[in-house]
Amino acid sequence: MRPIGSTSTSYNRLITRHFDPIRRLSEITSTCGGRHERTELVGSTRVGAAPTRTAPAIKRRTVEREKIAVFARDRWTCRFCGSRTIDLRVLKLVSRAFPTEFPYHSHWKFGHSHLIYWTHSTSLEHVVPIARGGLDESSNFVTTCYACNDARGHYLLDELGWALREPTSSTWLGLTEYLPALKATRTRKPIPHI
């Protein structure tokens, strides 16, 4: 089922580029200079992919205000691809206002949410993934679009041939300037028809 709001071309491009795990892992392996053995996907576990180091289980402690501070520092711009992102709170409020035209599923079920959730939503990412020994602290956090976050997985940036971009000096705010108005429309009672 194609997500609502997507054209056939944009949908196919997104699926092919970001959500086809076999192709994505094949591309990652080929861009790593042949340092890895054959990569396969078994169930949801990557076999023969980038070397991993099992990190001790830790409880994630990232709070909302920490995330917002990182997003503001990076001007709601993906530090991997440079695209502008839209704050998830804004997207959810728009979905509540227009559930048919702009659907959202609480578990991000593909085909039940608008395509923009995968292409432009703001996501917090670790520069060095926790699974690779990275710390769960603000110095290791960057803003990314969900598509880059998902495509990256647990790989290090140099294994993918990616570089971390400097924070932009843009005035982009991820549409957060509309949060007060969107929240107000949510709490406003409907006017009765006369």
Tell me: the pLDDT tens digits for 81-123? Answer: 999 999 999 999 999 989 999 999 988 788 899 999 999 999 9
Q: What is the dihedral of CA 41, 45, 50, 55, to 10 degrees?
A: 180
For 59-88, what is each residue's pLDDT tens digit? 566 688 999 999 999 999 999 999 999 999
Which of the 8 DSSP states describes residue 142? E
Q: Quick one: which of 160, 121, 120 has its CA closest to 35?
A: 160
Strands of the chain, DSSP E: 40-42, 45-47, 122-126, 141-145
Q: From CA 124, how far away is CA 118, in angstroms rounded?
A: 14
Q: From CA 140, how far away is CA 117, in angstroms rounded?
A: 24
For 12-34, what is each residue's pLDDT tens digit? 454 445 444 444 444 443 444 43
- Whole-structure pTM value: 0.67
- Helix%, strand%, coil% for the chain, nearest 5: 40, 10, 50
Q: From CA 101, how far away is CA 115, in angstroms rounded?
A: 11
Quick one: CA dihedral 35, 164, 150, 120, positive or negative?
negative
